[in-house]
C-alpha cells in the first residue's frame, strides 16, 4: 500500500486505490450543509441559523486581559490582548491571537450562552477558529461535552501539535498522544480540520514559523498519522479528518493538485482556498496579482475538478448545478448558513473579510437577541434571496468575502477589482477551463 507521501507528508495508507465506491462523496462532517438543511426553517418560516464560526479563549487569558477594565478602556484592553497572549505554537504571522479587541474578551460561559441562543435558532454545527488551539484549552473536554450534550457538531482547526508530541498531551491532559487522539475520536460530534499547505518544510515554515517548535513540520505529520491510526479517516460516509490547504500562494500552488489527490485516496477531504482578505494575510502579494488569480488559480481549480470527474466523484452537470466552490470540490455554504463570532463579541459575516459591510455588531453581548442580528445580516438576506430564486438552490455560495465584483442585494459591490483574492467571474472562468481540459 502506498504511503501518503514519500517525503514531506504524513505516512498514511490508502483507503481507495483509484476506485471509489459508487455514490462516494467528499463531505466533511463539519463543513458544508446539505441542500435540505439550507431549506430548513423555524416554525414561523424564518430560515434557520445553521452554522457559526466561533472563537473561544482560555479562561486564564480572558481573566488577565479583562481584569479591572471595562469596555471603555480600549487602549489598555488591546495592549493586554496582544501582550498577554501566549500560544503554544507561536507563529510569526498569527491570524487570530494578535488581532485587536474592541471589548473585554468573551468568557467561555458567555460563548456557551450564545450557543444555546443559537441552538434555539437551529444551530447544527460550529467551526472553532481560534485564538490558538482549542485542543490545548484546559477546558477542552468540558467544551466538547457541552457541544455533544446540545447536539452541536464541531470542526476544530488545528496545527496538530498536541496530536504529535506526547510531552504536550501529558502536560495538558496527563495522557499519551494516542490516548488523547482516541479520546477525541470518542466524541462523535468532533472532527478535525488539519492545516497542511506544503510537502516542503521550508515553504510550510514560512506560514507557520513557530518560534517555540522549530520541529513543528515533523510533529504535525506525526500528529496527522496518529489521528489516522485511531481511525479518524475510517468512516467513508462521515469524514471526520479534513486537510486544510490554505492559503494557496505562488510558492505552493504547483503541489496542491497532487496533495489533493493523495488526501482523497485516504478518505480525507481537502479544503483548498486562496488567502483571506482579512488579518495579516491581507498583505499577501497574490491578492494584487492578476496573473496568479485569473490564470494559476483558475487552472488549479479546473484541474482539481477534472481530476474529480475522471475519478467519477463528480460530473460536469453536477458542477454546473452545485456551482464551482471557493473550496474546490467541497461546497462552502457557511455564508448562507450562518455567521461568525469573534473573541471580543464582534459578529461578522465569515472569517474571510472583516471590513465594514461584513461586520454586524461590535459586541453581540450588547445586541441581543441573536435572532435580530441573524435576520439583519447579509448572510440571512442572501439565503432568503437564494431560497426565493431557486427551487433547488446551488449547494455552494460564491466566496462573498473574497471574490471581486460580486453583486450584493443593495446593488453594491464591496470587493473591487484588485482587492479580492478570487477574481471576478471565477465560476465561469473555471467552468470554461474545465471544458477546455476535458476537450483537449
Ligand atoms: S497557532 Fe494560530 S493562534 Fe497560535 S500563533 Fe499560530 S496562528 Fe497564532
Ligand atoms: S464565503 Fe469565502 S471566506 Fe467566507 S467561509 Fe466561504 S469560502 Fe471562506
pLDDT of residue 3: 47
For ligand 2, which residues put their CB under 6 angstroms from it? 273, 326, 332, 334-335, 350, 352, 399-402
**Is residue 238 helix, strand or coil?**
coil
Is 370 strand, coil or helix? helix
Contact 19, 143 (CB under 8 A): no
Using CA positions, which residue lies closest to atom 2 of ligand 1?
132
Euclidean distance between CA atoms 345 and 54, whole angstroms: 10
What are the structural domains, with CATH classification, of the chain?
A: 35-397 (3.20.20)
To test the pocket of ligand 2, the residue of 326, 358, 383, 420 to mutate (highest count of ligand atoms within 8 Å of its CB) is 326
DSSP 8-state assignment for residue 107: P
Q: In 200-214, which positions are buried (b, 16+ CB within 10 angstroms) versus exposed (e)?
A: eeebbbbbbebeebe
415-424: average pLDDT: 92
- Mean pLDDT for the stretch of residues 112-141: 97
In tens, the pLDDT along 294-348 reads: 999 999 999 999 999 999 999 999 999 999 999 999 999 999 999 999 999 999 9
Q: How far is the CA of 421 from the centre of ligand 1 (A)?
A: 22
pTM, rounded to two decimals? 0.95
Residue 158: per-residue pLDDT: 95
Please state which of the ranges 12-26, 91-105, 322-336 shows the lowest mean pLDDT: 91-105
Rounded to whole angstroms, the Cα distance separating 73 from 85 reads 18
* DSSP at 295: I
pLDDT, position 171? 95
Q: Dihedral of CA 320/325/330/332: which sign?
A: negative
Degrees to nearest 5, angle at CA 126 with 123 and 129: 150
* Residue having the nearest C-alpha atom to atom 2 of ligand 2: 399
Question: What residues form DSSP beta bridges with 270?
Answer: 243
pLDDT at 2 over 60: no
Q: Locate cell 491510526: which residue?
A: 229
Higher-confidence residue: 88 or 343?
343
Which SS3 state, helix, strand or coil, does residue 244 take?
strand
pLDDT at 279: 60
Amino acid at each position: 500500500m502506498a504511503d501518503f507521501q514519500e517525503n514531506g507528508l504524513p505516512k498514511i495508507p490508502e483507503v481507495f486505490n483509484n476506485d471509489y465506491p459508487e455514490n462516494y462523496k467528499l463531505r466533511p462532517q463539519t463543513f458544508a450543509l446539505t441542500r435540505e438543511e439550507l431549506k430548513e426553517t423555524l416554525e414561523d418560516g424564518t430560515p434557520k441559523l445553521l452554522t457559526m464560526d466561533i472563537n473561544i479563549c482560555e479562561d486564564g487569558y480572558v481573566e488577565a486581559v479583562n481584569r479591572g477594565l471595562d469596555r471603555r478602556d480600549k487602549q489598555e484592553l488591546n495592549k493586554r490582548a496582544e501582550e498577554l497572549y501566549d500560544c503554544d505554537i507561536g507563529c510569526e504571522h498569527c491570524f487570530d491571537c494578535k488581532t485587536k479587541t474592541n471589548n473585554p474578551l468573551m468568557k467561555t460561559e458567555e460563548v456557551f450562552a450564545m450557543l444555546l441562543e443559537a441552538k434555539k435558532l437551529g444551530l447544527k454545527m460550529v467551526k472553532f477558529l481560534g485564538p490558538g488551539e482549542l485542543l490545548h484549552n484546559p477546558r477542552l473536554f468540558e467544551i466538547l461535552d457541552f457541544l455533544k450534550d446540545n447536539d452541536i457538531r464541531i470542526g476544530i482547526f488545528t496545527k496538530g501539535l498536541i496530536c504529535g508530541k506526547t510531552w504536550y498531551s501529558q502536560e495538558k491532559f496527563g495522557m499519551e498522544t494516542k490516548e488523547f487522539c482516541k479520546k477525541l475520536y470518542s466524541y462523535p460530534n468532533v472532527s478535525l480540520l488539519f492545516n497542511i499547505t506544503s510537502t516542503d518544510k521550508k515553504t510550510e515554515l514560512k506560514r507557520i514559523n513557530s518560534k517555540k517548535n522549530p520541529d513543528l513540520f515533523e510533529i504535525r505529520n506525526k500528529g496527522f498519522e496518529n489521528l489516522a491510526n485511531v481511525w479518524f479517516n475510517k468512516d467513508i460516509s462521515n469524514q471526520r479528518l479534513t486537510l486544510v490547504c490554505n492559503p494557496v500562494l505562488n510558492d505552493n500552488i504547483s503541489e496542491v493538485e497532487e496533495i489533493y489527490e493523495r488526501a482523497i485516496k485516504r478518505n480525507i477531504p481537502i479544503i483548498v482556498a486562496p488567502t483571506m482578505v482579512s488579518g495579516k494575510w491581507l498583505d499577501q502579494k497574490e491578492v494584487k496579482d492578476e496573473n496568479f488569480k485569473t490564470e494559476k488559480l483558475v487552472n488549479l481549480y479546473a484541474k482539481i475538478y477534472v481530476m474529480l470527474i475522471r475519478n467519477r466523484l463528480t460530473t460536469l452537470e453536477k458542477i454546473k448545478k452545485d456551482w464551482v466552490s471557493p473550496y474546490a470540490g467541497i461546497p462552502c455554504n457557511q455564508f448562507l448558513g450562518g455567521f461568525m463570532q469573534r473573541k471580543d463579541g464582534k459578529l461578522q459575516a465569515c472569517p474571510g473579510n472583516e471590513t465594514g459591510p461584513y461586520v454586524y455588531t461590535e459586541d453581540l453581548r450588547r445586541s441581543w437577541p441573536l435572532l435580530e442580528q441573524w435576520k439583519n445580516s447579509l448572510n440571512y438576506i442572501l439565503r432568503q434571496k437564494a431560497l426565493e430564486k431557486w427551487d433547488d438552490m446551488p449547494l455552494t455560495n460564491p466566496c462573498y468575502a473574497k471574490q471581486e465584483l460580486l453583486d450584493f442585494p443593495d446593488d453594491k459591490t464591496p470587493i473591487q477589482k484588485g482587492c479580492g483574492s478570487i477574481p471576478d467571474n471565477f465560476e465561469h472562468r473555471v467552468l470554461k477551463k474545465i471544458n477546455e481540459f476535458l476537450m483537449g
